[in-house]
Amino acid sequence: MVNLGVNIDHVATLRQARMIGVPDTVTAALVCEKAGARGITVHLREDRRHIQLDDVVRLRQAITTKLNLEMAAIDALADIAVRIGPDDVCLVPEKRRELTTEGGLDVAGNSKKITAIVRCLKQAGICVSIFIDPNTRQIAAAAAAGADCVELHTGAYAHAFSVRSRREQELKKLVRAAAFAQKKGLILNAGHGLDYTNAGPVARIAGMCELNIGFSIIARALFVGLSSAVREMNTCINLKKG
């Protein structure tokens, strides 16, 4: 069974469009959990464009599955994480002008800083994941930094999906990276750009533990409701290949 973590950032994106408190992130998270999500993911961006600190505090108190906090590898956010105590933190790169997280974290190029942040979070009992491209150098650096887990960036695969040869090439990169991560003793997660058509092959990679999926679920929820959108995704990622 592959666990589905639902990223609810875009529930907050919608709320921030009017700033009158709806739709509420906690209500959305509880619907996702009831529909079978095994975790709730939120990205507390430095610019606070969607998720606010108050969302994270309230989610911590309300949800009964896992809270996975995505954040940049900076001290101010590490302090917040230690104070709130999510179950998991996923360290991600962050650029002010990007629409969404664009690439994996350069762990190899920032090993000193990232190792210190990982240590600080782990001392607080938080399971630490690092969002990286499917690249052995970055995976080795994540293991060396003391991470428990890696989340492989599936954006390139998702982008290539409509062209069969490119899709297969990108999937191969993920498969190789997944095997290497497990050899390094890392728990294996993946996410970004996954939807109802492309998530299946990633879910079937040997050893895949959790997929974190946001945009496609929230977009589908407009038409079928959040509960059905989560259930449908859970079916997609846990379907045995026929």
Angstrom distances, CA of residue 55 to CA of 42, 105, 234: 9, 24, 24
Q: Among 10, 43, 50, 153, which one carries the catalytic annotation?
A: 43
Considering beta carbons, is residue 78 or 165 the nearer one to ligand PXP? 78
- Shortest CB 102 distance to ligand PXP, Å: 9
Q: Is 25 in the site for ligand PXP (CB under 6 A)?
A: no
Q: Left, alpha or beta for 131 (phi > 0: left; psi -120 to 50: alpha)? A: beta
Alpha-carbon gap, residue 51 to 25, rounded angstroms: 9
Check if the beta carbon of residue 41 is closer than 8 Å to that of residue 90. yes
Known catalytic membership, residue 70: yes
Does residue 101 interact with ligand PXP by CB under 6 A? yes
- Type and span of the H or E element at 83: helix 75-84
φ/ψ of 210, rounded to 5, equals: -150, 140
| Token duo for residue 104 | 């994996």
Cβ atoms of 25 and 218 closer than 8 Å: no
Site for ligand PXP in 192-211 (CB under 6 A): 192-194
Cβ distance to ligand PXP smaller for residue 9 or 133: 9
Question: Number of residues in contact with ligand PXP, rule: CB under 6 A?
Answer: 19
- For ligand PXP, the binding residues in 123-162 under the rule CB under 6 A are 131, 151
Contact between 176 and 135 (Cβ < 8 Å) = no
CB of 192 to ligand PXP, least distance (A): 4
43 catalytic, yes or no?
Answer: yes
Given the rule CB under 6 A, which residues bind ligand PXP? 7, 9, 43, 70, 90, 92, 100-101, 131, 151, 191-194, 212-216
Q: Which residues are catalytic?
A: 43, 70, 192
